[in-house]
Structure 1
């Protein structure tokens, strides 16, 4: 009997072995699912590092063309009681064509002109061109962000292209006037300033003369009143007496009417 029982157990053991091995595997799968339900480190605290959805607002770009920077603001989930907080500062870009620029410095002999860029300066590539009417633009060897040009006998137009990874992100133009035109403009400005100054002086003189005439007239009237005070007093008294008599007559008429 013992041998028969042992033989039956030996025959059942290969059938039960897969079931015994499957039970720990199922327990491990359930355990991993429970661990995956909660992230490592517990629940996320509210704040800048929260995993909840947040609202973002973008600030105004520092430029209207080319490349600039702007602030990225968080409108919910800020620490403390702040309604908005700055998350980061990022680049912003506008239209490529910036039109006509203003030189950094402009003298009678030379002019300094800047390209459009943001720090760091060596991040971009700068291509300076000389624009010639009805001809192809001439590329200059200067590749710096600021170029200094001395005036010539004729006016010249320059253009700077700011490039990044082979793409143009900003373009600005400058006109360097000739020496003769600069002197002519300077003389015109001087003449305009002198004419404005002359007009201002004339207005001031007119106001001064008018004020003096009015002041002299008032003083003369006061002197006449002081010298003829008796006559003025008699006129005033006679006028006040007539007014009193008129009031008395009016009162009498009102009394008669009431009776």
Structure 2
């Protein structure tokens, strides 16, 4: 969609103090709100007067593909709607070779992986001036398979570690519940526990007395 100023109808005598919102991008081209700080309708302290373009540094560094599979990668240029307003120049960089300008002039390009990793760059131009530039690294098929194997191996190790951790937590929880249950049982049944303890102590005393008597008899 095309951005058009959303102008607020205000009296000419009203003060037009404005401030600018944060740009939606840190590089290339984006949009920002223009806010009125005085004379807004009702009790609003601020209100939007319009939306306008904003610019950042041209070089946006390395971008993130729209989609990335084991065979192909889909990469976007930097732009704001409408995309046909700008001109797009795609370049392909191969080590030890001169950059090659591709015939593709669309805002989005899809390429398939090769046997070697390749760097692509999209330049967004307006009226012959470069306003944004972004790069993408398209890894070779073998490198992607290696990365996938590493990721799967790391996930397997994490899964095993998580299983061990869960087992330890469950075991500790069961032991804790058992100890707490035993303590609660002893507190609720103090009389029974006390009687059992006293009967056991009495039996132990009788056993000791019998043992002493036997010792005396043996001495005699």
Same fold by TM-score greater than 0.5:
yes
Which has more radius of gyration?
Answer: 1
- Ranges in structure 1 where 5+ consecutive residues have no aligned partner: 1-46, 235-259
Corresponding residue for residue 27 of structure 2: 65
Deviation at 1:164, TM superposition (A): 0.5
Paired residues, number? 188
Deviation at 1:218, TM superposition (A): 5.1
TM-score w.r.t. structure 2 length? 0.77
- Ranges in structure 2 where 5+ consecutive residues have no aligned partner: 1-8, 200-220
Q: Higher strand share goes to which structure?
A: 2
Deviation at 1:48, TM superposition (A): 1.8
CA offsets, 1:39-89, max 9 Å, x none? Answer: xxxxxxxx6241454211111111111001111111112233332221111
Q: In structure 2, which of residues 125, 133, 153 is the aligned counterpart of residue 163 of structure 1? A: 125
On the 8 A contact 1:57/1:72 being kept in 2, the answer is: yes
Deviation at 1:213, TM superposition (A): 3.3
Deviation at 1:146, TM superposition (A): 0.2
CA offsets, 1:95-125, max 9 Å, x none? Answer: 1111111111111111100000001111000
User: In the alignment, is residue 56 of structure 1 matched against residue 13 of structure 2?
Assistant: no
TM-score w.r.t. structure 1 length? 0.66
On the 8 A contact 1:125/1:163 being kept in 2, the answer is: yes
Corresponding residue for residue 139 of structure 2: 177
Query: Higher relative contact order by CA 8 Å / sep ≥ 6: 1 or 2?
Result: 2
Corresponding residue for residue 106 of structure 1: 68
What is the root-mean-square deviation in Å for CA atoms of aligned residues? 2.4
User: In the alignment, is residue 140 of structure 1 matched against residue 102 of structure 2?
Assistant: yes
Corresponding residue for residue 12 of structure 1: none
Q: Higher helix share goes to which structure?
A: 1
